[in-house]
Structure 1
Amino acid sequence: SDADVLLHAVCDAILGALGKGDIGEHFPNTDDHYKDISSLKLLQKVQNIMTEDGYAVGNVDAVVIAEEPNIKKYKPQMKTQIASMLKIDSSAVNIKATTQEGLGSLGNKEGIAAYATVLLFKSGENE
């Protein structure tokens, strides 16, 4: 895929809450079908799995850990895209950003990490 760490974390959080494994089990990087696929498309597929199981997202809380880039100016657009894909209001999506203060591989700008949690509810129960 395009390796969007935030969207991968959201996908993993949803799949985990459903008890459906992780993103690598559903979309293995050994399958050429998923080579360079947009992570938004993967999130759409995960959203479909969730809907088929009768669940919906109540909210998303995520954190991106990176020295660079500074995502502050992109957070509103990121929230809007995630909310749109999950069919929830953007106020139900929270994205935080932090650094490792120069420590470890992330602090040395050797990568980016993201973690997410989601609250799921049975469709129709939160309306």
Structure 2
Amino acid sequence: MKVRVGYGYDVHQLAEGEEFWLGGIKVPHTHGAVGHSDADVLIHVICDALLGAANMRDIGFHFSDQDPKYKGIDSKILLRDVLKLIREEGYEVGNIDSTICLQQPKVNPHIPAMKECLSEVMTIPIEDISIKATTTEKLGFVGKLEGVSAHATVLIQKG
């Protein structure tokens, strides 16, 4: 069996009046992430980690922010497409470990719904998805409520 590990990191600016999509669900908040797609930072890092593990470049390579067909796209569609790409190469997801860095709103109450949504989108068991959340203790762009960042590590396996 071939086992590979991938890592993803992403950042999005927060702006008042934008919808806030995180882990495939809409999180109620006064501010939301800004991006070409729906700016779901958690799904974006998972996509990047999966693509990296399979040595298939990154999310921007496959879904350019210069392409108008991806303007406002639901990131769950991108995640399904990434899974199709890695599965065509014979890989399956082993597990995902992720961390969302966000000062406000509190993420912990939304984690069960995020895990359920991602499990359905990726067709993997919910117990194979770990989502953690942290603040940056009011330091940096996250602490100053200017943005959100996320990290993900994934394990994929073949045969």
TM superposition score normalised by structure 1: 0.94
For the pair 1:7 / 2:55, whether they are aligned, the reply is: no
CA distance in 1, matches of 2:115, 2:83: 16
- Structure 1: segments with no counterpart, 5+ residues: none
8 Å contact from structure 1 (residues 102, 108) kept in 2: yes
The one-letter code of the counterpart of 2:89 is D
Determine the C-alpha separation between the residues in 2 that align with 1:22 and 1:78: 22
Q: Which has the higher helix share?
A: 1
Number of equivalent positions: 123
Report the secondary structure of 2:147's partner residue.
Answer: coil
Q: Are the counterparts in 2 of residues 47 and 85 from structure 1 also a CA contact under 8 Å? A: no
Aligned residue type for 1:74: H
- Identity rate, percent: 45
Question: Over residues 89-126 of structure 1, what are the superposed CA-to-partner deviations in whole Å (9 max), with x where a residue is unaligned?
Answer: 1011000000110001111010000110111011xx4x
1:81-96 equivalences in 2 (<5 Å) = 81-96=117-132
Cα pair 1:101 1:107 within 8 Å, conserved = yes
2:83 and 2:66 mapped to 1: Cα distance?
22
In structure 2, list runs of 5 or more residues that go unmatched. 1-36
1:70 counterpart residue number: 106
TM-score by length of 2: 0.76
State the secondary structure of the residue aligned to 1:112: strand
Structure 1: 4+ residue segments shifted above 3 A: none
**What amino acid maps onto 1:82 in structure 2?**
L
User: Cα distance, 1:73 vs. partner?
Assistant: 1.1
1:50 partnered with 2:62: no
Aligned position for 1:113? 149
CA distance in 2, matches of 1:46, 1:69: 28
Cα distance in structure 2, aligned partners of 1:86 and 1:16: 17
Deviation at 1:88, TM superposition (A): 1.0
Displacement of 1:25 in angstroms is: 0.7
User: Structure 1 counterpart of 2:137, which letter?
Assistant: E
Q: Distance in 2 between matches of 1:76 and 1:90?
A: 9
Confirm whether residue 17 of structure 1 aligns to residue 53 of structure 2: yes
Report Cα offsets for 1:36-71 as digits up to 9, x if no partner.
Answer: 000000000001001111100010000000001111
Q: CA RMSD in A?
A: 0.7
From 137, 141, 148, the equivalent of 1:101 is 137
SS at match of 2:97: strand
